[in-house]
Structure formats: structure tokens, C-alpha cells
């Protein structure tokens, strides 16, 4: 498992003053890399008084406002966000010796934006969203398959499937974004962008 990491590092003079542009170029690198699977997969961690929990979700949009993913508003993660909107997102691009960690605050996106994205999903995924009461207990796999078939029958073919009321997006507005690049002798590069009180990005280098 131990190996020497990259020769190419993060040099302050090459880096943009704000992190979204850098993130986009790293995401594009990951998407273009054949070894990286699901380049837009990110580990979303939440924390409540019961403790932390983590799960993978897919990044579906990125603007200056933040990182958007879609899920079930009745799920465990949604309950955790309602309790404490402070979350972390982690992109594990191990094959590229890279990691990005985002700390920020999650909030629901508009119904209109959720509906616009839902409309682009494959029909089977749309029906799946209706069939799954995400994070609740099932008696069997059959119960889920049966519910899928029920909703399949409910929505006539070629009809528009409405967005389930319990389904939608969140946007995570970043407070800090850290870029980690593996380097030789475990002298890895860590560049963290942090928002100051005026919402401007400040950049600093951290010990590896």
C-alpha cells in the first residue's frame, strides 16, 4: 500500500484566488481519468447529538452558491441536516492521489430546481424515487419490487412522472475547501481556502 506519491504538486503561484475554478479543473481531471470510477461521487457526513454518519451521494451541480446533490427528504441524512445543517463533503480520488474536503452548510434547493432535475432522470429512476421510502425498514426485497411495479402501473407510459413531494436537492454552501495532493516522502500538499468574515476566500497551506 505504501508508495511514493506524485512529483507534481500544488504551487501557490499557479492557483486561482478562489477554489471553485480549481475544484472544477480537478473534477474534470478525475472525470477524464479512466481509473477513477464515479468521479462526481462524494462522501456526505452529517452530525447530530446521536453522533456522526456518512454516505456517498453524487454531485449534480456546482455554482458559486455551492455543491448540489439529490436525495429523499425523509431519509436519515435529511433528518440529520434538519437537525444540524453543518456537513462535510469528501471527494476520494485515490487513483489520482487527490482528495478534496468541503465544510459547509446544507439547505434545500427550490422546488422548481428539484423538479427541473427530476425531469431529466431516466423513467426507471423516477419510478424508483416514488417506490423507495429511503432509510426506512423493508420487510423484504419483494416489498420494494412490488411497490416499484405499483408505481409503474400508476404512471401511464409516455406520461410525465411528477416529482415525489419527498424528493429534492440540497446545496452545500462551502465555508472551506481543502485540496490534498499526494507528494514524495509523505510531504503532501494541502491547500485550504477559507471564507473570511467578508465572505472573501483566503488561502493557506497546512502541514500534511
Ligand X SMILES: Cc1cc2nc3c(=O)[nH]c(=O)nc-3n(C[C@H](O)[C@H](O)[C@H](O)COP(=O)(O)O)c2cc1C
Smallest distance from ligand X to CB 51, Å: 13
Smallest distance from ligand X to CB 167, Å: 9
Question: Which candidate, 92, 102, 56, 96, places its Cα nearest to that of 77?
Answer: 56
Residue (68 or 181) nearer to ligand X, CB? 68
Smallest distance from ligand X to CB 104, Å: 17
Torsion angle (degrees, nearest 10) of CA 130, 134, 138, 142: 40
Q: How many Å apart are CA 153 and CA 174, to the nearest integer?
A: 42
Do the beta carbons of residue 90 and residue 100 sit within 8 Å? Answer: yes
Residue (105 or 135) nearer to ligand X, CB? 135
Smallest distance from ligand X to CB 146, Å: 21
Annotated active-site positions, please? 186
What are residue 205's DSSP bridge partners?
Answer: 191
Q: At 114, phi and psi to the nearest 5?
A: -65, -45
- Residue ranges binding ligand X (CB under 6 A): 38, 41, 53, 55-58, 69-72, 75-77, 134-135
Amino acid at each position: 500500500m505504501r508508495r511514493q506519491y506524485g512529483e507534481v504538486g500544488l504551487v501557490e503561484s499557479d492557483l486561482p484566488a478562489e477554489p471553485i475554478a480549481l475544484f472544477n479543473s480537478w473534477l474534470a481531471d478525475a472525470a477524464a481519468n479512466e481509473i477513477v470510477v464515479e468521479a462526481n461521487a462524494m462522501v456526505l457526513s452529517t452530525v447530530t447529538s446521536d453522533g456522526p454518519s456518512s454516505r456517498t451521494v453524487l454531485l449534480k451541480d456546482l455554482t458559486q452558491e455551492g455543491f448540489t446533490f439529490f436525495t429523499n427528504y425523509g431519509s436519515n441524512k435529511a433528518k440529520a441536516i434538519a437537525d444540524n445543517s453543518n456537513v462535510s463533503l469528501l471527494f476520494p480520488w485515490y487513483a489520482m492521489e487527490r482528495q478534496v474536503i468541503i465544510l459547509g452548510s446544507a439547505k434545500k434547493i427550490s422546488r422548481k430546481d428539484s423538479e427541473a432535475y427530476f425531469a431529466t432522470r431516466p423513467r426507471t429512476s423516477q419510478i424508483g424515487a416514488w417506490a423507495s421510502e429511503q432509510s426506512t425498514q423493508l420487510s423484504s426485497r419483494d416489498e420494494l419490487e412490488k411497490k416499484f411495479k405499483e408505481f409503474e402501473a400508476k404512471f401511464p407510459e409516455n406520461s410525465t412522472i411528477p416529482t415525489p413531494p419527498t424528493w429534492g436537492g440540497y446545496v452545500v454552501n462551502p465555508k472551506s475547501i481543502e485540496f490534498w495532493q499526494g507528494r514524495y516522502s509523505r510531504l503532501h500538499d494541502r491547500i485550504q481556502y477559507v471564507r473570511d468574515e467578508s465572505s472573501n476566500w483566503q488561502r493557506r497551506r497546512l502541514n500534511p
